[in-house]
Chains A and B, each alone.
Chain A
């Protein structure tokens, strides 16, 4: 069975500083994908970044980077130079059975001015 764990229910970060959101996963499938989504208070789910299980390099997308440690089964999201607009819920998710996603419990990030 697939399982995603986000151990930080809430986090604060000072504006312009970097922050790391933790994500660990468990799966017996050798091929999988890891995703991070942002959900503002308005509710929409915004795709941020993807990491494939066979990817050799850590994924980066602008201010977002994914610290992928396969042996430890972790896929932490790093947001550099935090902005006030980064305040939101962040969900880590894993694809399985080719199509489906299972989500972690989420981390609420609050950026302080």
Chain B
């Protein structure tokens, strides 16, 4: 149980393209999902918290207009990197937590999306 699916797993595109990444909880409902960014050989950095039916909460330094998040249902959150440029190239990974808001519930992660902007 508690499977999170992320799609696509790898994207290569030209500079200026907008890229949409989907994150789905397959066997549970998630009112909250999280989007992380990971540079090579570095840790995961939280970008934003995606809240179902409301606006996402962005971490300091993350451009809201650059990284659009939509959480339209209890099983789907999307991250759109708008007008992507080479510096946006990174590994993006989403997570969701099953169950209630208890702290003992682990976040379950998608397999991540490798984004390469040429």
Contact = CB atoms under 8 A, between A and B. Distances in A.
A91 B49 contact: no
B97 A44 contact: no
A25 interface: no
B91 A100 contact: no
- State the main secondary structure of chain B at its contact with A: strand
Contact of A44 (B44, B101, B109): B109
A31 B103 contact: yes
Contacts of B106: 35, 47, 50
A101 B46 CA distance: 8
Given A98-B101, A98-B103, A99-B32, A43 B46 contact: no
B44 A105 contact: no
Given A95-B103, A98-B101, A44 B46 contact: no
B54 interface: no
Contact of A103 (B43, B111, B114): B43
Interface string A43-83: 11111001010000000000000000000000000000000
- State the main secondary structure of chain A at its contact with B: strand
B44 A103 contact: yes
B111 A100 contact: no
- How many of chain A's residues touch chain B, expressed as a range? 20 to 34
B43 A52 contact: no
Nearest to B97: A99
Nearest to A49: B106
21 contacts: A31-B103, A33-B103, A33-B104, A35-B107, A43-B111, A43-B112, A43-B114, A45-B95, A47-B108, A50-B104, A52-B103, A95-B103, A99-B34, A100-B46, A100-B49, A101-B34, A101-B95, A101-B107, A102-B46, A103-B44, A106-B43
Interface of A: 31-33, 35, 37, 42-47, 50, 52, 91, 95, 98-106
